[in-house]
Amino acid sequence: MKILLLTHGGWGMALLGSIQMILGKIENVEEEALLPQYTFSEYKERVEARVKTYTADSLIITDLFGGTTTNVAALVGRENGIKVVSGLSAPLLLEACSEIMSNGSYNINQLIDAGRNACKDVVQEVSDRLKQKEEK
């Protein structure tokens, strides 16, 4: 089982480095960077070549919905029966890696929740919590 990160310019491995500060050494995460000179088809071929060796329980995480990373992953994911999640972020990758480390598998809905729920209006969030406590 592998996780393939698809990013504009290749920031996925830097993110993985940050996640390893929290989780320790992580294996089986790879990246295929989208570089400005690639066409849609060239990039698709590169992603396909990587995914060819992957088992169907693997996962592709892309950085930008609406971008070429995600458009290519949509096709490759369908053709190879591999799940694709967009919106790569620290909380999303952290959740994926820690689920796989402890269970040997991931739950796609939990990953998506982890990515979504970590995006907050922070000062407002704290103020709201304080207000709720005062009201109790």
Partner 1 sequence: MDNIVLCRIDSRLIHGQVMTKWVNQSGAEKIVVIDDHFADDEFLKEVCLMSAPVGLDVVCYSKKEGIQEYAANGFGSDKVLLLLPGLAQMKNVYDQGIRISKIQVGGLGGAPNRKVVFQNITLDDADVEILRYFQQEGVEVIFQTIPEDMPQDLDNILKKYSTK
Binding site for partner 1 (CB under 8 A): 8, 36-42, 64-68, 70-71, 74-75, 78
Q: Which is nearer to partner 1, 66 or 104 (CB)?
A: 66
* Cα angle: 34, vertex 36, 42; to 5 degrees: 60
Q: What is the token pair recorded at 1? A: 């089982």
Residue 74 CB, nearest approach to partner 1 (Å):
5
Residue 124 CB, nearest approach to partner 1 (Å):
23
Give residue 63's Cα distance to chain centre: 7
Q: Which is nearer to partner 1, 58 or 70 (CB)?
A: 70
Helix (H, G, I), strand (E, B) or coil at 2: coil
Q: Which is nearer to partner 1, 39 or 103 (CB)?
A: 39
Residue 82 CB, nearest approach to partner 1 (Å):
15
Q: Which is nearer to partner 1, 59 or 76 (CB)?
A: 76
Distance CA 16, CA 78 (A): 25
Residue 63 CB, nearest approach to partner 1 (Å):
9
Radius of gyration of the chain (CA): 17
* Cα angle: 19, vertex 24, 6; to 5 degrees: 35
